[in-house]
Amino acid sequence: MIQEVKKHYGGLFEPALIEEINRVATFMEVPEGKDLMQPGQYIKAMPLLLSGSIKIMRPDTEGDELLLYHLEKGDTCAMSMTCCMGNTKSEIHAVTETPAKLLMIPIGKMEEWSSKYKSWRNFVFSSYHNRMMELLESVDNIAFNNMDERLEKWIEDKIQIINSKHIYTTHKEVAQDLHTSRVVVSRLLKKMENNKKIKLHRSFIEVL
């Protein structure tokens, strides 16, 4: 496992920290669509994402969910950190969007490493900052953009994450991410197809 840690974090963390991560972390390889965190759960470990993509969503009181941001290679979840440090229950839903490889760090190490390793402390602060910027972008997107623009932004983000112009998904799944109805998404996708921006297939959306 140490080769994976060095590959992704060798230029970021001190050698001594790399050794500690290798010693205490649990390696996980999970398929697409795997629930990693549910609302109401206590967090026992913090994830470091080696590969793949994770969706972070916020549920409402009716059980619907809004996509907040994505985690990609090299990222960690600031909300997981907050729950770990405060020993509080999760208020988010995390699910793998693609197959992913993770390192799970025991929560007991977080505070210890923050005082022991400057690189870890900087990593934590940087993660908080990046996730906050992504949350603000999500809020701006919801507050200031109409659903047409939000859908186009969702498609742009998706093709960047999966590195493909073929998005295998359903209209219902898109609607869930955007917190709207399937009917609205179907209508807007058809409009985009008429404008030659995409082509709709039976099981995927092709971006032109």
Q: Which residue has the tokens 């795997």?
A: 34
**Both 10 and 44 in a single domain?**
yes
Tens of pLDDT along the chain (208 residues)? 667 777 777 778 888 988 888 889 889 999 988 988 888 877 778 888 888 888 888 877 776 787 888 888 878 776 666 665 666 777 788 889 889 998 888 887 877 888 899 998 888 888 888 888 887 887 777 777 788 888 998 999 888 888 889 999 889 888 888 888 888 889 999 999 999 999 999 888 999 8
Does residue 99 sit in the same domain as residue 188? no
Q: What is the pLDDT of residue 40?
A: 80
Return the pLDDT at 166: 92
pLDDT of residue 37: 84
Q: Let me know whether 72 and 122 are in one domain.
A: yes
At 13 the pLDDT is 86
Q: How far apart are CA 92 and CA 37, in angstroms?
A: 7
Domain count, the chain: 2
CA atoms of 59 and 38, how far apart (whole Å): 10
Q: Which residue among 89, 122, 143 closes a domain?
A: 143
Note down the domain range covering 56. Answer: 2-143
Question: Is there a single domain that holds both residue 44 and residue 135?
Answer: yes
Q: Residue length, the chain?
A: 208
User: Do 85 and 101 fall within a single domain?
Assistant: yes
Tell me, yes or no, whether 161 and 130 share the same domain: no
Which string of b and e fits 70-108 if b means at least 16 CB within 10 Å? bbbeebbbbbbbebbeeeeebebbbbbbbebbbbbbebe
